[in-house]
Amino acid sequence: MGQRIDVNHLNVYYGDFHAVDDVNMVLESNKVTAFIGPSGCGKSTVLRTLNRMHETTPGAHVTGEVLLEGKDLYAPDTDPVEVRRDVGMVFQRPNPFPTMSIRENVLAGVKLNNKHISKSDADDLVEWALRGAALWNDVKDRLDKPGIGLSGGQQQRLCIARAVAVHPQVLLMDEPCSALDPISTLAVEDLIGELKDEFTIVIVTHNMQQAARVSDTTAFFNTQGSGKPGHLVEMADTTTIFSNPQSEETENYISGRFG
């Protein structure tokens, strides 16, 4: 089952630069939440703060709280490594480990936690994860072939399988289809709909149709201009955002008048 995330008064800084200003939101469990907004509005940054991946950028830091089922991810005694085991991530471009086979890729995260997983358990887990990622039928006969030999869309689903194999609570997706062709995009979107039964999903997308297709809730971010912090304009049911937005900014954005 997925867990819910509460974001309270989140501010993100890169060094002295104030990147995101005072975000408050609730990401419901087992729902798909989409972050939309123009470039530079901070949506990817907010996504990366949900599993502390922003900390790989030197000088990045946050104030405020991110609560995973009530537990603060930024509490002083919380290890970012532990956070990332609960909150998995899929990136903009497929990034399977190039020297590993398909099977090894799926097990890469699992082997970090559990070095001595038995072969039969590993086989079951590989099958479960690949079925979950709608990839099992494509690759079951070539599990020992390199993951990099798959097509782009298959590689992205392999990365999703790798992320779900560690049984996270939440799955973050940072523009997961932006490097994929339309057919692969469709496959990944279908998959998102299935995955929300088991995980809470947060997806950043530049594609408003995609947000409308896959998400239950949509959050619109905007910025006053480059150099200004991004902020959350409004967040509501996806149907509400796209049919009856509260804010004029949102209205302009979704109707294509800017951004």
Partner 1 sequence: MKKFSADKLFKWCAVGAGVLILAVLAAVAVFLLIQASPVFIGDRDAAAHSISSFTGGSTTNFFVFVGPLIFGTILASALALFLAFFVAVGIALFISHYAPKRLASVLSYIVDLLAAIPSVVYGLWGAFVLVPHTYPVWKVINSVLGWIPLFGGPVSNPPRTIATVSIVLAVMILPIITSMARDIFVQTPLLQQEAALALGATKWEMIKLAVLPFGTNGLVSASMLGLGRALGETMAVLMILSPGSTYGIHIFTASRNQTIAANIAAQFPEADSMGVSTLIATGLVLFVITFAVNYIARRITHRSSSKKNGMIASVMAWSTRKFSSRNANHSAVSKSDTGDNNNGKAGE
Of the pair 224, 239, the CB lying nearest partner 1 is at: 224
CB of 182 to partner 1, least distance (A): 6
CB of 246 to partner 1, least distance (A): 24
Of the pair 40, 246, the CB lying nearest partner 1 is at: 40
Of the pair 152, 239, the CB lying nearest partner 1 is at: 152
Residue 238 amino acid letter: T
Cβ within 8 Å of residue 189, ≥6 positions away: 177, 210, 213, 214
DSSP 10-44: EEEEETTEEEEEEEEEEE-TT-EEEEE--TTSSHH
Of the pair 121, 237, the CB lying nearest partner 1 is at: 121
Of the pair 198, 216, the CB lying nearest partner 1 is at: 198
d(C-alpha 75, C-alpha 170), whole Å: 19
CB of 240 to partner 1, least distance (A): 26
Of the pair 86, 240, the CB lying nearest partner 1 is at: 86
**In the complex, which residues of this chain contact partner 1 (CB under 8 A)?**
14, 19, 39-45, 48, 51, 53-54, 56-58, 60, 81-82, 84-85, 88-89, 91-93, 95-100, 108-109, 112-113, 146, 148-149, 152, 159, 162-163, 166, 178-182
d(C-alpha 40, C-alpha 44), whole Å: 9
Give the closest residue to 158 by CA, choosing from 216, 225, 109. Answer: 109
d(C-alpha 79, C-alpha 231), whole Å: 27
CB of 197 to partner 1, least distance (A): 22
Helices (H), 171-247: 182-195, 208-214, 238-243
CB of 207 to partner 1, least distance (A): 13
> Radius of gyration over alpha carbons of the chain, in Å?
18
CB of 237 to partner 1, least distance (A): 25
Residue 18 amino acid letter: H
